[in-house]
Amino acid sequence: MRILVTGAAGFIGSHVVEALWAAGHEVTGLDLRAGDGHVVGDVRDADLLARLLRRVDAVVHQAAKVGLGVGVLDLPHYTSVNVQGTAVLLAAMAEHGVRRLVLASSMVVYGEGAYECPRHGLIRPGPRAPEDLARLSFEPCCPRCGAELSPVAIDEDARPDPRNVYATTKLAQEHLAANWARETGGTLVSLRYHNVYGPRMPRDTPYSGVAAIFRSALEAGRAPRVFEDGRQRRDFVHVRDVARANLAALEAGTAPGTPTTCNVASGEPHTVGEMAAALAGAHGGPAPVTTGEYRLGDVRHIIAAPDRATRELGFRAKIGFVEGMREFAVEPQA
């Protein structure tokens, strides 16, 4: 298959390119950053896309402005890159008859995760109150009765609740791609990545994941600083498994004109504190420090139900938490 990968020089995109090459596909990469083996350019450049798509059977769309977005002033740039860029790409695909797309989305479209109340069943709580966070009360409560909630895995049918600029643009990408699939009869798989980590993860930038931030601290001889009480639950999935998920999505026999959305996750949730401890242990210390600090807008728990990806794509993560964190702790950072 001849495949265009946008964002090919990025953290995830570079691993996707390698997975596609290893599977025997012909890959053309596109990225804003200069580097070997890909075209340098902007996904918003319709003329460039017209040239690249003439010999392409499928697109894997990884290019995006990442990070959460700091505030309202970030709206124009995030929407330009993520929303307008995706719209230009989809229009070019429609014009040139490219009918297969894998879209990189994110678990951030869910907002807070799913919970169960002992009295009221499945609950999706709203944002946590600043006054609760200030008194170090981190767990969301049932909005109907105030009872303690138990976090449960969230599946793809859950109502989206994006809570920052980045999340809103990722959901917009999903909607635009779904419009494209229905109107063109194209095949679409949107992959909602959970907390991705692994080799080439960017360091010391506003867009670094918490795993990279912890590792940078350890390399500098500092203790990782864990916010809240360290018991926030996440699903940490290795970047090579994410690349395999993209390959599986390309090769799956999903139905034309019917968008498919899948969580990409390990299926083995861990706390942020456990992740910090695993990295510190593999690195040889120092031990993490739990600070009680918090950020308004952060979600407490978000864990994934990975079953649809297994059922629809034949994908299951292979790299375990201990193995992956041990490798990540000692590998040189990008």
Q: Do 189 and 262 meet the contact criterion of CB atoms below 8 Å apart?
A: yes
**Residue 113 CB burial class (10 angstroms; 0-12, 13-18, ≥19):** buried
- Please give the pLDDT value at position 207: 53
Q: Each residue of 159-169: b (16+ CB within 10 Å) or e?
A: ebbbbbbbbbb
CA–CA separation, 70 and 66 (whole Å): 11
Residue for token digits 């919970």?
115
- Please give the pLDDT value at position 203: 78
- Name the 3-class secondary structure at 273: helix
**Residue 284 CB burial class (10 angstroms; 0-12, 13-18, ≥19):** exposed
From 184, 216, 169, 182, select the one nearest 197 (Cα to Cα): 216
- Please give the pLDDT value at position 103: 98
The sign of the dihedral angle between the CA atoms of 13, 14, 18, 19 is: negative
Residue for token digits 């307008």?
84
- Domain extents for the chain? 2-114+153-329, 115-152
CA–CA separation, 127 and 114 (whole Å): 13
CA–CA separation, 221 and 125 (whole Å): 38
Q: Each residue of 53-75: b (16+ CB within 10 Å) or e?
A: beebbbbbbbbbbbebbeeeebe
Q: What is the 3-state secondary structure (H, E, C) of 276-298?
A: HHHHHHHHCCCCCEECCCCCCCC
**Identity at 50, one-letter amino acid code:** A
Cα 67 to Cα 106, 165, 168, 197, 208: the distances in Å are 11, 9, 12, 14, 8
- Please give the pLDDT value at position 73: 83
- Please give the pLDDT value at position 278: 96
CATH of domain 2-114+153-329: 3.40.50.720
Task: Say how many C-beta atoms besides its own lie within 10 A of residue 88's C-beta.
Answer: 17
Tens digit of each residue's pLDDT, the chain (334 residues):
999 999 999 999 999 999 999 999 999 999 999 877 899 999 999 999 999 999 899 999 999 998 765 578 888 999 999 999 999 999 999 999 999 999 999 999 999 999 999 999 999 998 999 999 999 999 999 999 999 999 999 999 999 999 889 999 999 999 999 999 999 999 999 999 999 999 999 876 555 688 999 999 999 999 999 999 999 999 999 999 999 999 999 999 889 999 999 999 999 999 999 999 999 999 999 999 999 999 888 899 999 999 999 999 999 999 999 999 999 998 765 5
- Please give the pLDDT value at position 260: 97
The sign of the dihedral angle between the CA atoms of 307, 309, 315, 319 is: negative
